[in-house]
């Protein structure tokens, strides 16, 4: 099986351009693909609220409920705000597009950089959290979190390279399994409390609120805002929906917000009522499920569904990152390869790039969710703020029907997300958020440098201001053919050189005088009509004397171009190539940036078995 056959086996057959309409997905599948990031935050957002409160005192944990309600109110504001974004940008209203068109290119690049970072961290955080939840039930995995995380990323990459519709079908079942499992968990926990019993393992905390410092409450709120990550994914991915895509996206956004809000508040209330506090080696969800179900089948069902939704949250980034990268590439702020659709109608280069960077973060932070999350929220709320501010500018400019009502929603969204951004940046700065604060300007600089390069290339290649020549004339050029001996492949290269120029020279670098004499004898029999130039190499280098000779000929002849024809033989099996010198590769590399040189290869294919 060769490489191409293996690719077809893993990824499937190529899809034609006409099939792109069939790659659109329904609301049910879109909920799985685009909402899993937001829904998955239920698995760790409550725990992030509890960690700073529990560190202060056990009684302070009671503050988790009002903090969660404040975050729920922010979710409501964001949902309404992004509904306005979907109305204004039915073709996909990602923060990059909204900020660029309404606040300027620089603001758009900041939003784009923040979103790219957010998507990478979504993969790293979600995979790490998923592995940790499984490790809570299977302690053996705790020592192998990195390896398990890398394996999950490889599987996600494979599924997404197969195409949007196939990945949506694969991941729809786990999403609804998660929704069902958490309905069972919240319903069972509430029922046990309602009937007045004290289930085994329950340790109720009295409903008395201790006084806590304001800064502690704000810090806990900032940590819990990780529950809002992924809310923007649906407004970014409108083109993925079946028609009417705009209406379907708005409906899916409401469903996602209702499920997320209900689950987040429900889990936070139950965690408080059951006395759940963070502890080493077990997640808050695992502790709550164990308190409600013990070590029964339902406990393991909750752990499996939580791990699956966290893995699917990473898949949301695989839907968003490649599309955003393609938009930046089309605007010439990222390499153009990012804008190319692969043979399965997905942006393959973006998928592979996302996987590589996320895998690096998993290794760098040893698969620890708590170390990764502080990096997470800064980029999220920065993109939220720029997107909402851009929509405010849009409404003031366009003044469409009901624009003032929309302006209020987006203005409120911009103000609240900006406040949260400041809080998150301040309270998480020393915990790792400083990396993101420094990385975003660096990415903007990176984007602008790429853009400058593309503009320079376009200017150099442009025919604007040039006078048409009337008739094209052939270039004057000398052909130089570097050889290591004389064989069938060399003869083919010599014939090719004679067909394109009247000035053909074979060039041989002498490493062994006896071999040179043998070559001269063979040369008179096989190619006497072409001059053979022998170059001395006292330091046994092949490349250096050859490059010097090519440059000397260019100076002497003053040709328009120098054509270097490299004879190569290609082995029948790919691994045989490693058994031979790669001199041709080194020659091409040495001449790559050498102006006025054309390098071409004449290949002779061996028929060995």
Helices (H), 348-432: 348-364, 369-372, 376-398, 403-428
Which residues sit opposite 533 in a β-bridge?
507
Please tell me the predicted confidence (pLDDT) of residue 605: 85
| Cα–Cα distance measured from residue 269 to residue 257, given in angstroms and rounded to the nearest whole number | 18
Average pLDDT, the chain: 82
Over residues 247-268, the mean pLDDT reads: 92
d(C-alpha 284, C-alpha 301), whole Å: 15
Q: Which of 324, 351, 339, 344 is nearest to 20 (CA)?
A: 344
Q: Rounded to the nearest 10 degrees, how much is the dihedral formed by the CA atoms of 207, 208, 211, 213? A: -10
The neighbour count for residue 500, using CB atoms within 10 Å, is: 14
Is 90 exceeded by the pLDDT of residue 183? yes
φ/ψ of 481, rounded to 5, equals -120, 100
More confident of the two residues 450 and 158: 450
pLDDT at 168: 63
Q: How far apart are CA 273 and CA 60, in angstroms?
A: 13
Over pLDDT 70: what percentage of the chain?
87
| Confidence bin at 468 (pLDDT 50/70/90) | confident
For the domain spanning 43-454, the CATH number is 1.20.1740.10
Interval 526-584: pLDDT, tens: 998 999 999 998 877 888 899 999 999 988 888 888 999 999 888 877 777 777 778 88
Confidence of residue 497 (pLDDT cuts 50, 70, 90): very high
pLDDT of residue 475: 83
Give me the mean pLDDT over the 600-605 stretch.
Answer: 89
pLDDT band at 18 (very low <50, low <70, confident <90, very high): very low
Q: Is the pLDDT of residue 144 over 60?
A: yes
Residue extents of the structural domains in the chain: 43-454, 477-605
How far apart (Å, rounded) are the C-alpha atoms in residues 583 and 542?
Answer: 8
Q: Is the pLDDT of residue 456 over 80?
A: yes
Q: What is the pLDDT of residue 317?
A: 82
Span 477-605: which CATH code? 3.40.50.620
SS3 39: helix
pLDDT at 480 over 90: yes
Band of residue 374 on the pLDDT scale cut at 50, 70, 90: low
pLDDT-based confidence at 135, cuts 50/70/90?
confident
| Count of residues making up the chain | 609
Q: What is residue 205's predicted lDDT score, i.e. its pLDDT?
A: 47
Average pLDDT over residues 379-398: 89
- Cβ burial of 469 (10 Å; 0-12, 13-18, 19+) is exposed
Q: What is the pLDDT of residues 185-214, one digit of tens each?
A: 999 999 988 886 555 444 444 445 556 777
**In this structure, what DSSP letter does residue 229 have?**
T
DSSP per position, 481-493: EEESS-SHHHHHH
What residues contact 275, with CB distance under 8 A and at least 6 apart? 61, 202, 203, 204, 205
Buried b (16+ CB within 10 A) or exposed e, 404-430: eebbebbbbbbebbbebbebbbebbee
Question: What is the dihedral angle through the alpha carbons of 121, 126, 127, 128, rounded to the nearest 10 degrees?
Answer: 90
| pLDDT, greater one: 178 or 81 | 178
| Res 443 pLDDT > 50 | yes
Of 464 and 523, the structure prediction assigns the larger pLDDT to 523
pLDDT (tens digit, 9 = 90+) per residue, 145-172?
A: 788 888 888 888 888 887 655 556 676 8
**Best mean pLDDT range from 6-10, 369-373, 563-567:** 563-567
pLDDT bucket at 21, cuts 50 / 70 / 90:
very low
3-state helix, strand, coil in the chain (%, to 5): 70, 5, 20
* Contact between 222 and 428 (Cβ < 8 Å): yes
* pTM (two decimals): 0.75
Q: Does the pLDDT value for residue 262 go beyond 80?
A: yes
| pLDDT range class, residue 93, cuts 50, 70, 90 | low
Of the two residues 22 and 117, the one the predictor is more confident about is 117
DSSP track, 182-213: HHHHHHHHHHHHHTT---TT-----S-PPP--
Q: What is the pLDDT of residues 216-228, one digit of tens each?
A: 888 788 778 878 8
Q: Looking at residue 22, what is its pLDDT?
A: 42
* pLDDT tens sequence across 313-326: 777 788 788 888 88
pLDDT of residue 370: 61
- In the prediction, which pLDDT does 308 show? 81
- pLDDT tens, residue by residue, 277-303: 877 777 888 889 988 998 888 988 998
């Amino acid at each position: 099986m060769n490489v191409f056959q293996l690719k077809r086996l893993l990824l499937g057959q190529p899809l034609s351009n006409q099939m792109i309409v069939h790659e659109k997905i329904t609301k049910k599948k879109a909920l799985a693909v685009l909402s899993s990031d937001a829904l998955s935050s239920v698995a760790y957002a409550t725990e992030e609220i509890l960690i700073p409160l529990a560190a202060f005192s056990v009684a302070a944990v009671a503050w988790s409920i009002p903090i969660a309600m404040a975050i729920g109110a922010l979710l409501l504001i964001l949902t309404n705000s992004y509904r306005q974004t979907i109305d204004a940008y039915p073709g996909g209203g990602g923060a990059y597009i909204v900020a660029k068109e309404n606040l300027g290119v620089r603001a758009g690049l900041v939003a784009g950089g923040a979103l790219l970072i957010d998507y990478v961290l979504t993969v790293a955080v979600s995979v790490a959290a998923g592995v940790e939840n499984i490790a809570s039930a299977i302690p053996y995995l705790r020592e192998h979190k990195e390896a398990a995380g890398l394996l999950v990323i490889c599987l996600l990459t494979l599924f997404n390279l197969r195409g949007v519709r196939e990945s949506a079908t694969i991941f729809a079942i786990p999403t609804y399994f998660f929704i069902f499992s958490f309905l069972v968990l919240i319903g069972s926990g509430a029922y046990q409390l309602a009937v007045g019993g004290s289930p085994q393992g329950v340790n109720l905390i009295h409903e008395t609120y201790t006084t806590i410092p304001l800064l502690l409450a704000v810090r806990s709120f900032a940590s819990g805002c990780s529950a809002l990550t992924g809310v923007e994914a649906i407004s970014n991915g409108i083109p993925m929906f079946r028609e009417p895509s705009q209406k379907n996206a708005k409906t899916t956004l409401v469903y996602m917000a209702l499920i997320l809000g209900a689950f987040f508040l429900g889990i936070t209330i139950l965690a408080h009522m059951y006395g759940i506090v963070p502890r080493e080696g077990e997640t808050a969800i695992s502790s709550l499920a164990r308190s409600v179900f013990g070590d029964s089948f339902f406990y393991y069902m909750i752990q499996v569904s939580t791990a699956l939704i966290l893995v699917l949250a990473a898949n949301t980034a695989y839907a968003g990152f490649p599309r955003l990268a393609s938009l930046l590439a089309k605007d010439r702020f990222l390499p153009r390869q990012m804008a190319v659709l692969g043979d399965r109608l997905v942006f393959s280069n973006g998928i592979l790039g996302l996987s590589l960077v996320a895998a690096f973060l998993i290794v760098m932070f040893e698969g620890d969710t708590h170390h990764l999350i502080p990096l997470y929220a800064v980029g999220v709320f920065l993109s939220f703020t720029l997107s909402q501010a851009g929509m405010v500018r849009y409404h003031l400019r366009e003044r469409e029907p009901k624009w003032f009502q929309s302006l209020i929603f987006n203005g409120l969204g911009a103000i609240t997300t900006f406040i949260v951004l400041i809080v998150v940046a301040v309270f998480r700065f020393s915990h790792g958020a400083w990396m993101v604060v420094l990385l975003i300007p660096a990415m903007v600089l990176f984007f602008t440098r790429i853009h400058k390069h593309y503009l320079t290339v376009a200017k150099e290649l442009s025919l604007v201001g040039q006078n048409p020549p009337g008739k094209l004339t052939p270039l004057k050029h000398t052909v130089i053919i570097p050889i290591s001996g004389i064989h069938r492949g060399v003869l083919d290269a010599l014939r090719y050189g004679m067909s394109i120029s009247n000035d053909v020279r074979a060039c041989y670098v002498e490493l062994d005088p006896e071999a040179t004499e043998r070559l001269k004898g063979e040369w008179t029999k096989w190619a006497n009509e072409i001059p053979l130039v022998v170059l001395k190499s006292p330091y046994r280098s092949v490349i250096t004397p050859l490059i010097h000779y090519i440059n000397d000929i260019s100076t002497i002849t003053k040709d328009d171009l120098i054509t270097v024809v490299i004879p190569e033989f290609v082995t029948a099996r790919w691994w045989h190539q490693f058994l031979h010198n790669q001199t041709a590769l080194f020659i091409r590399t040495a001449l790559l940036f050498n102006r006025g040189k054309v390098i071409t290869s004449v290949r002779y294919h061996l028929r060995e078995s």
